[in-house]
Amino acid sequence: MAEKLSVNPNRMVLLKIKRRLSVARRGHKLLKDKFDELMKPFLATIKETGRIREEVETELEEAYKLFAIARVETSAVELDAALSQPKVSADVAVHRRNLVSLTVPEFELDLEGEFDCYGLASTPAMLDEALSRMREVLPRMVLLAQRENTIKMLAWEIEKTRRRVNALEYVLIPQLEETVRYITMKLDEFERANLNRLMKIKEMVGGGEI
Protein backbone atom coordinates (compact mmCIF):
# COMPACT_ATOMS: atom_id res chain seq x y z
CA MET A 1 0.00 0.00 0.00
CA ALA A 2 1.28 3.44 -0.91
CA GLU A 3 2.07 5.91 1.83
CA LYS A 4 -0.27 8.84 2.18
CA LEU A 5 0.87 12.44 2.14
CA SER A 6 1.20 14.23 5.46
CA VAL A 7 -1.82 16.57 5.37
CA ASN A 8 -4.48 18.04 7.62
CA PRO A 9 -7.68 16.05 6.88
CA ASN A 10 -10.28 18.69 6.00
CA ARG A 11 -12.54 19.37 3.04
CA MET A 12 -10.37 22.13 1.57
CA VAL A 13 -7.32 19.85 1.54
CA LEU A 14 -9.44 17.02 0.09
CA LEU A 15 -10.49 19.29 -2.78
CA LYS A 16 -6.87 20.27 -3.48
CA ILE A 17 -5.67 16.66 -3.39
CA LYS A 18 -8.44 15.58 -5.76
CA ARG A 19 -7.41 18.33 -8.17
CA ARG A 20 -3.76 17.22 -7.98
CA LEU A 21 -4.87 13.64 -8.58
CA SER A 22 -6.87 14.66 -11.63
CA VAL A 23 -3.89 16.59 -13.05
CA ALA A 24 -1.55 13.68 -12.30
CA ARG A 25 -3.82 11.22 -14.10
CA ARG A 26 -4.06 13.50 -17.15
CA GLY A 27 -0.29 13.95 -17.12
CA HIS A 28 0.21 10.22 -16.86
CA LYS A 29 -2.02 9.61 -19.89
CA LEU A 30 -0.23 12.29 -21.94
CA LEU A 31 3.19 10.91 -21.03
CA LYS A 32 2.06 7.35 -21.76
CA ASP A 33 0.80 8.46 -25.17
CA LYS A 34 4.11 10.26 -25.78
CA PHE A 35 6.02 7.11 -24.78
CA ASP A 36 4.01 5.04 -27.26
CA GLU A 37 4.54 7.62 -30.02
CA LEU A 38 8.29 7.70 -29.36
CA MET A 39 8.54 3.92 -29.56
CA LYS A 40 7.17 3.84 -33.12
CA PRO A 41 9.98 5.85 -34.82
CA PHE A 42 12.52 4.34 -32.41
CA LEU A 43 11.79 0.77 -33.49
CA ALA A 44 11.46 1.77 -37.15
CA THR A 45 14.78 3.65 -37.06
CA ILE A 46 16.52 0.71 -35.38
CA LYS A 47 15.29 -1.62 -38.13
CA GLU A 48 16.32 0.78 -40.89
CA THR A 49 19.69 1.47 -39.27
CA GLY A 50 20.43 -2.22 -39.01
CA ARG A 51 19.84 -2.61 -42.74
CA ILE A 52 22.01 0.42 -43.57
CA ARG A 53 24.81 -0.82 -41.28
CA GLU A 54 24.85 -4.22 -43.00
CA GLU A 55 25.05 -2.53 -46.41
CA VAL A 56 27.83 -0.16 -45.29
CA GLU A 57 29.86 -2.96 -43.71
CA THR A 58 29.54 -5.06 -46.87
CA GLU A 59 30.55 -2.16 -49.12
CA LEU A 60 33.49 -1.24 -46.87
CA GLU A 61 34.65 -4.84 -46.80
CA GLU A 62 34.68 -4.89 -50.61
CA ALA A 63 36.56 -1.58 -50.75
CA TYR A 64 39.16 -2.82 -48.25
CA LYS A 65 39.67 -5.99 -50.27
CA LEU A 66 40.31 -3.90 -53.37
CA PHE A 67 42.78 -1.72 -51.43
CA ALA A 68 44.56 -4.87 -50.26
CA ILE A 69 44.87 -6.12 -53.84
CA ALA A 70 46.10 -2.70 -54.97
CA ARG A 71 48.76 -2.73 -52.24
CA VAL A 72 49.96 -6.13 -53.45
CA GLU A 73 50.19 -4.89 -57.04
CA THR A 74 52.26 -1.78 -56.18
CA SER A 75 54.76 -0.75 -53.55
CA ALA A 76 53.70 0.92 -50.30
CA VAL A 77 55.78 3.98 -51.17
CA GLU A 78 54.10 4.42 -54.57
CA LEU A 79 50.66 3.87 -53.06
CA ASP A 80 51.25 6.38 -50.26
CA ALA A 81 52.61 8.91 -52.73
CA ALA A 82 49.58 8.48 -54.99
CA LEU A 83 47.21 9.21 -52.09
CA SER A 84 49.27 11.90 -50.37
CA GLN A 85 47.64 14.86 -52.16
CA PRO A 86 43.86 14.39 -52.22
CA LYS A 87 41.84 16.62 -54.55
CA VAL A 88 38.47 16.04 -52.92
CA SER A 89 36.98 17.77 -49.88
CA ALA A 90 34.04 16.62 -47.80
CA ASP A 91 31.79 18.79 -45.67
CA VAL A 92 28.81 17.73 -43.57
CA ALA A 93 26.08 20.30 -42.91
CA VAL A 94 23.85 19.69 -39.90
CA HIS A 95 20.17 20.58 -40.15
CA ARG A 96 17.41 20.08 -37.60
CA ARG A 97 14.02 18.42 -37.95
CA ASN A 98 11.17 17.67 -35.58
CA LEU A 99 10.43 14.05 -34.70
CA VAL A 100 7.63 13.43 -32.18
CA SER A 101 8.28 16.76 -30.40
CA LEU A 102 12.01 15.95 -30.39
CA THR A 103 14.55 17.92 -32.43
CA VAL A 104 16.96 15.54 -34.14
CA PRO A 105 19.90 16.30 -36.46
CA GLU A 106 19.89 15.65 -40.18
CA PHE A 107 23.27 15.41 -41.95
CA GLU A 108 23.88 16.58 -45.50
CA LEU A 109 27.12 15.51 -47.21
CA ASP A 110 28.77 17.85 -49.72
CA LEU A 111 31.64 16.43 -51.81
CA GLU A 112 33.81 18.56 -54.07
CA GLY A 113 36.59 17.31 -56.33
CA GLU A 114 37.62 13.84 -57.46
CA PHE A 115 39.07 10.90 -55.61
CA ASP A 116 41.48 9.98 -58.40
CA CYS A 117 44.21 12.42 -57.43
CA TYR A 118 47.11 10.47 -58.92
CA GLY A 119 48.65 9.47 -62.22
CA LEU A 120 46.92 6.46 -63.71
CA ALA A 121 50.07 5.11 -65.33
CA SER A 122 51.82 4.24 -62.09
CA THR A 123 48.87 2.89 -60.09
CA PRO A 124 46.87 -0.34 -60.42
CA ALA A 125 43.27 -0.40 -61.67
CA MET A 126 42.17 -1.93 -58.36
CA LEU A 127 43.02 1.35 -56.63
CA ASP A 128 40.61 3.17 -58.93
CA GLU A 129 37.89 0.67 -58.11
CA ALA A 130 38.61 0.84 -54.36
CA LEU A 131 38.36 4.64 -54.30
CA SER A 132 35.19 4.51 -56.38
CA ARG A 133 33.65 2.14 -53.83
CA MET A 134 34.70 4.44 -51.00
CA ARG A 135 33.10 7.42 -52.71
CA GLU A 136 29.89 5.47 -53.16
CA VAL A 137 29.74 4.28 -49.54
CA LEU A 138 30.62 7.62 -47.93
CA PRO A 139 27.09 9.12 -48.18
CA ARG A 140 25.67 5.97 -46.59
CA MET A 141 28.21 6.22 -43.78
CA VAL A 142 26.99 9.76 -43.11
CA LEU A 143 23.38 8.53 -43.22
CA LEU A 144 24.28 5.74 -40.80
CA ALA A 145 25.83 8.26 -38.40
CA GLN A 146 22.65 10.35 -38.62
CA ARG A 147 20.40 7.36 -37.90
CA GLU A 148 22.51 6.18 -34.97
CA ASN A 149 22.52 9.68 -33.50
CA THR A 150 18.73 9.78 -33.81
CA ILE A 151 18.46 6.40 -32.06
CA LYS A 152 20.56 7.67 -29.14
CA MET A 153 18.40 10.78 -28.76
CA LEU A 154 15.16 8.80 -29.00
CA ALA A 155 16.45 6.27 -26.48
CA TRP A 156 17.35 9.05 -24.04
CA GLU A 157 13.92 10.70 -24.45
CA ILE A 158 12.13 7.35 -24.11
CA GLU A 159 14.00 6.54 -20.91
CA LYS A 160 13.26 9.99 -19.47
CA THR A 161 9.57 9.66 -20.36
CA ARG A 162 9.44 6.12 -18.95
CA ARG A 163 10.86 7.30 -15.60
CA ARG A 164 8.26 10.08 -15.41
CA VAL A 165 5.44 7.68 -16.30
CA ASN A 166 6.59 5.23 -13.61
CA ALA A 167 6.98 8.00 -11.03
CA LEU A 168 3.40 9.06 -11.62
CA GLU A 169 1.98 5.55 -11.92
CA TYR A 170 3.76 3.89 -9.00
CA VAL A 171 4.52 6.78 -6.63
CA LEU A 172 2.58 10.02 -6.93
CA ILE A 173 -0.83 8.76 -8.08
CA PRO A 174 -0.98 5.95 -5.45
CA GLN A 175 0.08 8.46 -2.77
CA LEU A 176 -2.65 10.90 -3.81
CA GLU A 177 -5.26 8.12 -4.00
CA GLU A 178 -4.28 6.87 -0.54
CA THR A 179 -4.41 10.44 0.79
CA VAL A 180 -7.91 10.92 -0.66
CA ARG A 181 -9.05 7.68 1.02
CA TYR A 182 -7.49 8.76 4.31
CA ILE A 183 -9.07 12.22 4.31
CA THR A 184 -12.45 10.80 3.24
CA MET A 185 -12.28 8.24 6.04
CA LYS A 186 -11.37 10.91 8.59
CA LEU A 187 -14.16 13.22 7.42
CA ASP A 188 -16.64 10.32 7.69
CA GLU A 189 -15.38 9.67 11.22
CA PHE A 190 -15.80 13.36 12.11
CA GLU A 191 -19.30 13.33 10.66
CA ARG A 192 -20.29 10.22 12.61
CA ALA A 193 -18.81 11.70 15.80
CA ASN A 194 -20.75 14.91 15.26
CA LEU A 195 -23.92 12.94 14.62
CA ASN A 196 -23.42 10.97 17.85
CA ARG A 197 -22.90 14.19 19.80
CA LEU A 198 -26.08 15.66 18.32
CA MET A 199 -28.03 12.55 19.25
CA LYS A 200 -26.71 12.66 22.83
CA ILE A 201 -27.59 16.34 23.10
CA LYS A 202 -31.05 15.56 21.81
CA GLU A 203 -31.49 12.88 24.47
CA MET A 204 -30.24 15.26 27.19
CA VAL A 205 -32.75 17.94 26.34
CA GLY A 206 -35.55 15.44 26.56
CA GLY A 207 -36.22 14.68 22.96
CA GLY A 208 -36.48 18.26 21.69
CA GLU A 209 -35.56 19.16 18.12
CA ILE A 210 -31.99 20.32 17.53
pLDDT tens digit sequence for 59-100 = 999 999 988 888 887 777 777 766 666 667 788 999 999 988
Residues 75/122, Cβ–Cβ less than 8 Å:
no
3-state class (DSSP) for residue 19: helix
CA distance 100 to 40: 10
Determine the pLDDT at residue 210.
45
Supply the range of the domain harboring residue 128. Answer: 11-193
CA distance 86 to 131: 11
Query: Domain for residue 43, yes or no?
Result: yes
Query: Domain for residue 76, yes or no?
Result: yes
Query: Domain for residue 209, yes or no?
Result: no
Determine the pLDDT at residue 127.
79
Query: Domain for residue 207, yes or no?
Result: no
Query: Domain for residue 198, yes or no?
Result: no
121 pLDDT above the threshold of 60: no
**Average pLDDT over all residues of the chain:** 87
142 pLDDT above the threshold of 60: yes
Query: Domain for residue 210, yes or no?
Result: no
| Percent of the chain scoring above 70 in pLDDT | 88
Determine the pLDDT at residue 65.
92
- What torsion do the CA atoms of 172, 174, 175, 180 make, to the nearest 10 degrees? 120
Determine the pLDDT at residue 175.
95
Of the candidates 61, 60, 52, which has an alpha carbon nearest to the alpha carbon of residue 147?
A: 52
The per-residue b/e assignment along 112-135, b for 16 or more CB within 10 angstroms, e otherwise, is eeebbebeeeebbebbbbbbebbb
Tell me how many domains the chain contains.
Answer: 1
Determine the pLDDT at residue 176.
96
Query: Domain for residue 150, yes or no?
Result: yes
Query: Domain for residue 3, yes or no?
Result: no
Residues 18/192, Cβ–Cβ less than 8 Å:
no
- Which pTM was predicted? 0.77
What is the helix, strand, coil percentage profile of the chain, to 5?
Answer: 75, 10, 15
Tell me the pLDDT tens digit for each residue of 173-199. 999 999 999 999 999 888 888 888 888
Determine the pLDDT at residue 116.
61
Specify the CATH number for the domain of residue 56.
Answer: 1.10.287.3240
